């Protein structure tokens, strides 16, 4: 299970959006249910900031450290949630994030993963 803190674009929003309760612009969602996964994808598409809970970042990063023959993470060898977790865990390494996103574009080109790159570009 991955738990995320969600930051709404409107910082003072208090209410509910796609089944997630927000208080002063901050909500929480996990990916254990279909509704939770749908909310996460909605938030990513709409430009909400999603931050994995600290405990999950370490566990996810460990889970996706599997490398291919040349020692580099290959997104084609992982499902989308694993690739997204890897990108979250390496968010501070822009060269690695760029490399993985370019490999994804050249390979499977999954929209959920490529949208992560678009979000990073929009945030610059």
The answer to whether residues 22 and 76 belong to one domain is no
* Per-residue b or e along 17-48, where b marks 16 or more CB atoms closer than 10 Å to that residue's CB: bbebebeebbbebebeeeebbebbbebbeeeb
pLDDT band at residue 102 using 50, 70 and 90 as cut-offs: very high
The answer to whether residues 66 and 45 belong to one domain is no
The answer to whether residues 64 and 116 belong to one domain is yes
The answer to whether residues 94 and 106 belong to one domain is yes
pTM score over 0.85 = no
Chosen domain end from 35, 52, 69: 52
Q: State yes or no: pLDDT of 122 exceeds 80.
A: no
Question: Looking at residue 73, what is its pLDDT?
Answer: 85
The answer to whether residues 46 and 60 belong to one domain is no
Average pLDDT over residues 71-86: 83
**pLDDT single digits (tens) 22-71:** 988 888 998 888 999 999 999 988 888 888 875 444 444 444 444 455 56
Question: Looking at residue 63, what is its pLDDT?
Answer: 45
The answer to whether residues 16 and 30 belong to one domain is yes
Domain boundaries, position 3: 1-52
Q: Give the number of domains in the chain.
A: 2
Contact between 80 and 115 (Cβ < 8 Å): no
The answer to whether residues 39 and 77 belong to one domain is no
The answer to whether residues 63 and 43 belong to one domain is no
Percent of the chain with pLDDT over 90: 19
Tokens representing residue 110 in the block: 């999954």
The answer to whether residues 34 and 80 belong to one domain is no
**Distance (Å, rounded) from C-alpha 100 to C-alpha 106?**
10
**pLDDT single digits (tens) 91-101:** 888 898 899 99
């Amino acid at each position: 299970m991955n738990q995320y803190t969600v930051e709404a674009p409107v910082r003072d929003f208090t209410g509910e959006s796609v089944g997630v309760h927000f208080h002063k612009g901050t909500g929480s969602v996990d990916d254990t249910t279909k509704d939770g996964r749908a909310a996460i994808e909605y938030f990513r598409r709409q430009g909400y900031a999603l931050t994995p809970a600290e405990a999950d970042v370490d566990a996810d990063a460990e889970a996706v450290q599997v490398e291919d023959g040349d020692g580099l993470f290959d997104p084609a060898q992982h499902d989308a949630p694993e690739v997204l977790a890897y990108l979250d865990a390496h968010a501070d390494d822009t060269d690695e994030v760029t490399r993985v996103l370019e490999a994804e574009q050249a390979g499977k080109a999954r929209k959920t993963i490529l949208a992560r790159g678009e979000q990073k570009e929009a945030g610059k």
